Structure 1
Amino acid sequence: MEKYLTTEEVAQIARTVPSTVRYWRHRGTGPRGIKRGKRVLYAESAVAAWLAGKDDQAQAKA
C-alpha cells in the first residue's frame, strides 16, 4: 500500500516551508498532490520521483 505525505512532511523533506510546497503545487512545478477532504496528500513515490527529477535538472545545468 502506498504511503501518503502531508504538505508539512513534503516541506520537511524538501527543506522548505509548507507555503512554498503549496506554491509549487499551484504553479505545477512541485510534486503532484491529491485532495482528500480538505487536505492535500502526496504519494511518497511521486515525491521521490519529483526530487529525482530535480536532481537530474541540477546535474544537467552543471
Structure 2
Amino acid sequence: MATAKPSQPVTELPARYLTPNDLAELLSIPLETVYAWRKKRTGPLGFRIGKHLRYDPSAVHDWISNLTEHAA
C-alpha cells in the first residue's frame, strides 16, 4: 500500500477493511497512536473479526472529515 505524503490530503482509501498497520501507514503516524486512540475511544471506529482489529475505510474517511470540519 502506498504511503500518503503528509502534505497531501488522503483522497482515496483502499476498497478493503484496514488493519491498524494500514491506518498508521495511511496517516503517517506510529502504530502505538492507533492503539492509544482505540483505548481512549478518540479515533475512528474499529471492529473485531475474531481477534483481528479492522477499520472500515468509509468510517475512517468520515472521522477525518469530522476532524477537519471542527478544525476550520
Q: Note whether the superposition's TM-score is higher than 0.5.
A: yes
What interval of TM-score do these two structures reach, taking the shorter chain for normalisation? 0.7 to 0.9
Match of 1:32 in 2: 45
**CA displacement, residues 4-62 of structure 1 (integer Å, 9 cap, x when unaligned):** 00001111122101110111011111001111122100000000001111111211xxx
Instruction: Give the aligned CA root-mean-square deviation in angstroms.
Output: 1.2
- Flag structure 2 segments of 5+ consecutive residues without an equivalent: 1-14
- Flag structure 1 segments of 5+ consecutive residues without an equivalent: none
**TM, length-normalised to structure 1:** 0.83
**TM, length-normalised to structure 2:** 0.73
1:21 matched to 2:30: no
Match of 1:57 in 2: 70
Matches within 5 A, 1:38-53: 38-53=51-66
Name whichever structure is richer in helix by fraction. Answer: 1
- Give the total of aligned pairs: 58
Name whichever structure is richer in strand by fraction. Answer: 1
Q: How far apart, in 2, do the equivalents of 1:33 and 1:57 lie?
A: 21
SS at match of 2:18: strand
Q: Which has the higher contact order (CA 8 A, sep 6+)?
A: 1
What's the % identity of the aligned pairs? 34
Runs of 4+ in 1 over 4 A off after TM superposition: none
